[in-house]
């Protein structure tokens, strides 16, 4: 998966279409992959990626979330 593919996939879980990924939306994304401990992982993911401290991951912070996913969730990013 490329960085852009992961971002596009994550945006699918923005159910309220506000352009931000909440802890709840990230939790659903993690559950969709069959991931365990989704509540814990989503809380840590948002906390790590949320540079402005608003409690959401917005468009400008998606790269932070991708980096976190690579380091802590075992997501592999390939670059073509």
Domain ranges of the chain: 3-72
Task: Indicate the pLDDT class of residue 23, thresholds 50, 70 and 90.
Answer: very high
pLDDT at 74 > cutoff 90: no
Which superfamily does 3-72 belong to? EF-hand (1.10.238.10)
Mean pLDDT over 14-31 rounds to: 96
HEC profile of the chain: CCHHHHHHHHHCCCCCCCCEECHHHHHHHHHHCCCCCHHHHHHHHHHHHCCCCCCCEEHHHHHHHHHHHHHHCCCCCCCC
The pTM score is: 0.91
Partners of 21 in the β-ladder = 57
């Amino acid at each position: 998966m490329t960085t852009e593919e992961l971002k596009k996939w994550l945006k699918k879980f923005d159910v309220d279409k506000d352009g931000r990924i909440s802890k709840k939306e990230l939790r659903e994304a993690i559950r969709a992959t069959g991931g365990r401990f989704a509540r814990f992982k989503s809380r840590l993911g948002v906390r790590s990626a949320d540079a402005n401290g608003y409690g959401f991951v917005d468009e400008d912070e998606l790269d932070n979330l991708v980096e976190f996913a690579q380091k802590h969730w075992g997501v592999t990013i390939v670059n073509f």
